[in-house]
Amino acid sequence: MRERILVTGGAGYIGSNIAAALCKRPATDVLVVDDFSSGDWRNLVHVDCEVRACNCDDPALLDEIADGAFSAIYHEAAITDTTVMNQRLMIEANTNAFAMLLEASSMSGTRVVYASSAGTYGNSPAPNKVGSGEEPENIYGFSKLAMDRIAYRWYDRHPAPLIGLRYFNVFGPGETHKNERDGNKTASMILQLYEQMKSGRNPRLFKYGEQMRDFVYIRDVINANLAALNAPRSGVCNVGSGQARTFNDIVHITAETLGIDAKIEYMDNPHTFYQNHTEADVSDSHALLGWQPEWSLENGMKEYITLLEKGHRGPLETA
């Protein structure tokens, strides 16, 4: 029998990569749902799936979920721009819609894998571990923490596992549309710095480039999502590399890969909610998913930059 899997936000960066990977599985049909407010149709040109333009809390879609139309749901739809300060808009789009999706999926007993975020930790001391230091610094991080809390309240009542994946700083193919649509402000720092350096500009960093982030390659993120299809129980887990690196490291690796010299311009940081150090504790991820990161920052960046140099713009599986 063929299985049918729903991917909300499937025209976006991570959603399109998940959809492309699922389409490679035998006997699997994929429905991508997206409102196309931030996703891009070009991410799906080479992904053989059904596409529907609607919100993830569309009543007709919720009815399909409740009726058991899908064997699993990947919920990636969200406002992901961390500079959005409209609290009601963020909660309605991220938290309320998720609550409605969970209620519908409970009626059919459909597994839900959803996108949470390292933004739930704010500036709590690293390493970041699920269940501690959950002190978000902005409304985006709070909306994701609220989603995790809603899911937790369903654990004992939902017939199928609910798995939240707290993404750290994801980079890799499939995010090109972000630097075309919104001026690069939501693209990974790796893509932003690559574009700056390719155009002949000096890379610009907040003073003095020693902020540390857990950069995780999209291959590892895809594998974590696929592993979640077989998770035996509900839970939230981190999806990161498990190792923090500086923004200066990103510049140096990019310059070395491109074979150019780079003079960094340092500037003041205007954001009071800026995360200065994130690093995923992935021990729970291994226990729940049987997954652990495999790609180093250097290896991921070199593959990514090679694909960018070839002009590749879509999800990894379409390269």
50 forms beta bridges with 31
Residue in 13, 140, 194, 217 annotated catalytic:
140
CA Rg value for the chain: 19
291 CB-side CA count, 13 A:
27
What is the Cα–Cα distance from 286 to 201, expressed in whole angstroms? 41
For residue 306 the two structure tokens come to 């090679």
CA 226: distance to chain centroid?
14
DSSP tag of 95: I
What is the Cα–Cα distance from 199 to 143, expressed in whole angstroms? 36
Answer for the pair 171, 305: CB distance below 8 angstroms, yes or no: no
Strands across the sheet with 28-34, in order? 50-53, 28-34, 3-8, 72-75, 111-117, 162-167, 235-239
Q: Active site includes 178? A: yes
Count CB atoms within 10 A of the CB of residue 42: 14
Answer for the pair 148, 116: CB distance below 8 angstroms, yes or no: yes
For residue 113 the two structure tokens come to 């894998």
Does residue 208 have a cis bond before it (omega within 30 degrees)? Answer: yes
For residue 222 the two structure tokens come to 């895809």
Q: Which single residue is written with the structure tokens 């739809």?
A: 77
Among the listed residues 311, 281, 297, the one whose alpha carbon sits nearest the alpha carbon of residue 171? 297
Residue in 13, 167, 178, 217 annotated catalytic:
178
What amino acid positions are annotated as catalytic residues?
140, 178
